[in-house]
């Protein structure tokens, strides 16, 4: 029992400090563990030498910052796994069982039926116990990511190597940042931040990316071991979960069916859902459980009518996704009700005899942060129908019925187009529902394509 957590209060202080992103030098000072000076397994000194290997020369400031942060996290997590793991990752087994239950919420691949899969993304490997619990409880595929290769290697020892195709049920390990997980790895049925979100360089961005990697109806779990002091201390705002989820399509678990106001009441809805989502975990830590609503239907449709103005000329030529830009000047009241992000609905050109019927569409309301010229809010409508011409100056009508996701900054055009294709697929599915057609059926004739 000599490594039991309760006998080593300094290690708890150390964990808490690491959660707040304290520099490693401070962590080393915080460690008064009697063995820290004697045993290599407990020593935290020496990590700073690794930190100094920061970004390659010539990288821009943002990349340099990211590299430095990744190096720091990597060093910290290498040390965690090199040390006494029941000290650096206390209660891992119990937490793994608890989090697997929360993440799966009773779902299992067996219950989903023949040919289905149940995919979970785990951010933070530890020694693999959470992945093990997930597989035992009914996940079919678990992707475990971490910055520490040593930690991933240690966790992988718990499992058979995956089949080459990756189709058979398996656990895979990948050294990457959550922001760099490719969409084709998903979509996931659940994401678990396994005591890692608070130490992300930008926790809000990490959560945003994660919420885009999951499919509608899935679960997002944030677990932190010793976060109480961080949450309650306004001097440490890095984990304001309420603020983080305010603009994301996330609902406190169990409340998603009631529907979140996606139009205008974002701040309040987020705050409510964050506190409603929070529970204490099995071991005195904090756990937030969110659901991505099965259908992001808005309570009230937003109707827009405006002239088509010229955009950046990038949609058709560079992206292969032509968009009609609706004049934002006359849509101020609607813009006030719509958070920035991607919507789906129906659009038509009422004055054009050929295109006066409603077609499915996706709508981006935002500032295109992926591009340098992205400033000023635009309302861009991609109509899922071949029109064979542009329609500058014509009047467009558009009804936004649901919210897909917040706007994001992508690494480049290819990633953006990839995500837009996913948006289009999701939108098409949602809009096939009878209730969706009903929203415009009375207004005009229906166009099936």
User: How many chain residues interact with ligand RBF (CB under 6 A)?
Assistant: 22
> For ligand RBF, what does the binding mask look like between residues 252 and 291, x meaning CB under 6 A?
----------------------------------------
Closest to ligand RBF by CB, 156 or 206: 206
Residue 312 interacting with ligand RBF (CB under 6 A):
yes
Select the span of 1-9, 383-391, 403-411, 434-442 touching ligand RBF (CB under 6 A): 403-411
Query: CA–CA separation, 340 vs 162, rounded Å?
Result: 40
Q: How far is the CB of 383 from ligand RBF (least distance, A)?
A: 10
3-class secondary-structure state, position 303:
strand
Select the span of 102-110, 138-146, 194-202, 369-377 touching ligand RBF (CB under 6 A): 369-377
Residue 423 interacting with ligand RBF (CB under 6 A):
yes
Residue 407 interacting with ligand RBF (CB under 6 A):
yes
Closest to Mg ion by CB, 388 or 442: 388
Query: CA–CA separation, 5 vs 86, rounded Å?
Result: 7
Residues 314-333 that bind ligand RBF (CB under 6 A): 314-315, 321, 323
Q: Quick one: DSSP state of residue 446?
A: B
Which tokens hold the place of 75?
């060093």
Based on the residue annotation, tell me whether 380 is a catalytic residue of this protein. yes
Q: Of all residues in this chain, which one has the CB nearest to ligand RBF in the complex?
A: 370
Q: What is the radius of gyration, based on Cα positions, of the chain?
A: 24
Residue 362 interacting with ligand RBF (CB under 6 A):
yes
Q: How far is the CB of 410 from ligand RBF (least distance, A)?
A: 6
Residues 423 and 342: beta-carbon distance below 8 Å: yes
Q: From the list Mg ion, ligand RBF, none, which binds 321 (C-beta under 5 to 8 Å, kind-based)?
A: ligand RBF
Selecting among 92, 251, 380, 397, the annotated active-site residue is: 380
Residue 371 interacting with ligand RBF (CB under 6 A):
yes
Out of 323, 334, 357, 447, the residue judged to bind Mg ion by CB under 5 A: 323
Which tokens hold the place of 334?
């609607």
3-class secondary-structure state, position 121:
strand
Q: How far is the CB of 417 from ligand RBF (least distance, A)?
A: 9
| Those residues with Cβ within 8 angstroms of residue 417's Cβ, 6 or more apart along the chain or in another chain | 319, 320, 321
Q: How many residues does the chain have?
A: 449
Closest to ligand RBF by CB, 15 or 361: 361
Closest to Mg ion by CB, 315 or 341: 315
Q: From the list Mg ion, ligand RBF, none, which binds 345 (C-beta under 5 to 8 Å, kind-based)?
A: none
Residues 272-311 that bind Mg ion (CB under 5 A): 311
Out of 315, 341, 366, 402, the residue judged to bind Mg ion by CB under 5 A: 315
The position carrying tokens 């990839």 is 418
Closest to ligand RBF by CB, 128 or 322: 322
Q: How far is the CB of 122 from ligand RBF (least distance, A)?
A: 25
Out of 382, 383, 400, 426, the residue judged to bind ligand RBF by CB under 6 A: 382
Query: What is each CA distance from 147 to 123, 152, 391, in whole angstroms?
Result: 9, 8, 49
Q: From the list Mg ion, ligand RBF, none, which binds 28 (C-beta under 5 to 8 Å, kind-based)?
A: none
How would DSSP label each residue in 212-263?
A: HHEEEEEEEEEEESS-HHHHH-TT-GGG-HHHHHTTSS-EETT-GGG----S
Residue 369 interacting with ligand RBF (CB under 6 A):
yes
Q: From the list ligand RBF, Mg ion, none, which binds 176 (C-beta under 5 to 8 Å, kind-based)?
A: none
Whether the upstream peptide bond of residue 187 has omega within 30° of 0, thus cis, is: yes
Query: What is each CA distance from 217 to 56, 73, 110, 256, 293, in whole angstroms?
Result: 41, 31, 18, 9, 5
Residue 155: beta bridge partners?
Answer: none
Q: How far is the CB of 395 from ligand RBF (least distance, A)?
A: 20
Q: Quick one: DSSP state of residue 358?
A: B
The position carrying tokens 């929203």 is 439
Buried b (16+ CB within 10 A) or exposed e, 26-55: ebbebbebebbeeeebbbbeebeeebeeeb
Residues 188 and 213: beta-carbon distance below 8 Å: yes
**Chain positions contacting ligand RBF, by CB under 6 A:** 311-312, 314-315, 321, 323, 342, 362, 364, 368-371, 374, 380, 382, 407-408, 410, 416, 420, 423
> Looking at the annotation, which residues are catalytic?
380
């Amino acid at each position: 029992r000599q490594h039991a957590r309760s006998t080593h209060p300094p290690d708890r202080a150390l964990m808490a400090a690491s959660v707040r992103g304290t520099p490693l030098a401070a962590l080393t000072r915080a460690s008064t563990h009697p063995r820290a000076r004697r045993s290599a397994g407990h020593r935290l000194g020496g990590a700073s030498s690794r930190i100094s290997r920061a970004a390659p020369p010539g990288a821009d400031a943002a990349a340099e910052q990211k590299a430095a942060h990744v190096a720091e996290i990597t060093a910290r997590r290498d040390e965690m796994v090199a040390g006494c793991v029941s000290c650096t990752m206390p209660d891992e087994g119990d937490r793994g069982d608890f989090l697997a239950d929360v993440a799966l919420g009773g779902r299992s691949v067996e219950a989903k039926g023949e040919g289905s899969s149940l995919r979970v993304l785990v951010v933070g490997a530890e020694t693999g116990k959470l992945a093990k619990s997930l597989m035992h409880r009914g996940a079919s595929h678990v992707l475990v990511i971490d910055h520490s290769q040593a930690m991933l290697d240690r966790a992988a020892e718990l499992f058979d190597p995956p089949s080459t195709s990756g189709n058979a049920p398996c656990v895979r390990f990948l050294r990457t940042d959550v922001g760099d997980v490719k969409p084709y790895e998903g979509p996931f049925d659940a994401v678990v931040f396994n005591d890692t979100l608070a130490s992300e360089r930008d926790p809000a961005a990490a959560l945003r990316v994660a919420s885009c990697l999951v499919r509608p109806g899935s679960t997002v779990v944030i677990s932190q071991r010793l976060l109480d002091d961080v949450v309650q201390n306004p001097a440490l705002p890095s984990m304001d979960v309420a603020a983080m989820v305010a603009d994301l399509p996330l609902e406190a678990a169990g409340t998603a069916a009631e529907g979140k106001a996606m139009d205008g009441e974002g701040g309040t809805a987020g705050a409510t859902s964050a506190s409603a989502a929070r529970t204490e975990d099995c071991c005195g830590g904090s756990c937030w459980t969110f659901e991505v609503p099965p259908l992001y239907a808005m309570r009230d449709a937003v109707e827009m009518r405006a002239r088509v103005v010229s955009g950046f000329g990038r949609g058709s030529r560079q992206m292969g996704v032509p968009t009609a830009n609706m004049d934002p000047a006359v849509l101020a009241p609607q813009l006030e009700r719509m958070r920035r992000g991607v919507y789906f609905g129906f659009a038509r050109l009422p004055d054009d005899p050929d295109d006066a019927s409603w077609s499915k569409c996706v709508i981006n309301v935002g500032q295109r942060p992926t591009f340098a010229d992205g400033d000023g809010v635009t309302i861009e409508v991609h109509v899922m129908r071949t029109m064979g011409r542009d329609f500058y100056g014509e009047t467009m009508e558009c009804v936004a019925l649901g919210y897909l996701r917040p706007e994001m900054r992508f690494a480049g055009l290819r990633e953006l187009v990839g995500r837009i294709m996913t948006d289009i697929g999701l939108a098409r599915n949602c809009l096939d529902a009878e209730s969706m057609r009903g929203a415009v059926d009375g207004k005009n004739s229906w166009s099936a394509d």
